[in-house]
Amino acid sequence: MPLKDHQDAFGHLFLDRLNGSAGLPIVEREDGLVEVDSYYSGLYLADPKKWPAHEKEALKLAKGRVLDIGCGGGRHSLYLQEKGCDVVAIDSSPLAVDVCRKRGVHKAKIQDITKVSRRLGMFDTVLLLGNDFGLLSNIKRADWVLRKLKHFTSPEARILAESMDPYRTERPEHLEYHTRNKSRGRMAGQIKMRVRYKKYATPWFDYLLVSQKEMTGIVEGTGWKISKFIESKDRPQYIAVIEKDS
């Protein structure tokens, strides 16, 4: 479902950034942990020169018709559009889609990841960048979405999916949360969270962070396979290059 205005924290942040304001989002986890997101918020509308090296390397593999899921402020869509790709950018945030259009993305639609279908057409590349593998939420939804994507992508299609290894931390509040998750039958990196910005707050949602081994297990049997990982040099992020398993 599209976010209502009072829920559209990201969209209001993107719009403020577009208009020259430099506010920061707050990430709130269900166990009470509250943190300011200063790293990713600096990238939302950033020029490609400021992007992480692993991101730029992965985008060299994008081709043809591109579906940018969770497009945010549209930086990846704009970049690939300028490279000659036919890009469809989707996001559940109406204001994010509005920002994309204002910035020059030709095809931007308000749509949730669970609603992607053949009606959007066929694609050669699917983007889940900016840690957007997390939008798959849990193993069951991940399996369902990946199987669904297989049916409206070309035989040589690729998914470029970014995640962050949740185990690369020594912070006790994260290790305790991993243990709590496992005791409830959840994956260690299956985070229940919401994002706040000014007076706006998203609904609570599950966001899935996985290790490379865990992502390999999730992808197996869905009609896709991971051909390689592109790792960040200084952060626990990585991008998986996922191709059809013929």
pLDDT of residue 33: 97
The three-state secondary structure class of 186 is coil
Asked whether 207 and 188 are in contact (CB, 8 A), the reply is: no
pLDDT of residue 92: 97
pLDDT in tens, the chain (246 residues): 789 999 999 999 999 999 998 789 999 999 999 999 877 777 889 999 999 999 999 999 999 999 999 999 999 999 999 999 999 999 999 999 999 999 999 999 999 999 999 999 999 999 999 999 999 999 999 999 999 999 999 999 999 999 999 999 999 999 999 999 999 999 999 999 999 999 999 999 999 999 999 999 999 999 999 999 999 999 999 999 999 997
Q: How many CB atoms within 10 Å of residue 95?
A: 23
Residue entry with tokens 């992607």: 116
Closest CA to 190 of 127, 142, 128, 241: 142
- Up-side HSE of residue 228: CA atoms within 13 Å toward CB? 6
pLDDT of residue 112: 94
Q: How far apart are the first and last CA of the chain?
A: 33
CATH architecture entry for 5-244:
3-Layer(aba) Sandwich (3.40)
pLDDT of residue 113: 95
pLDDT of residue 42: 79
pLDDT of residue 43: 85
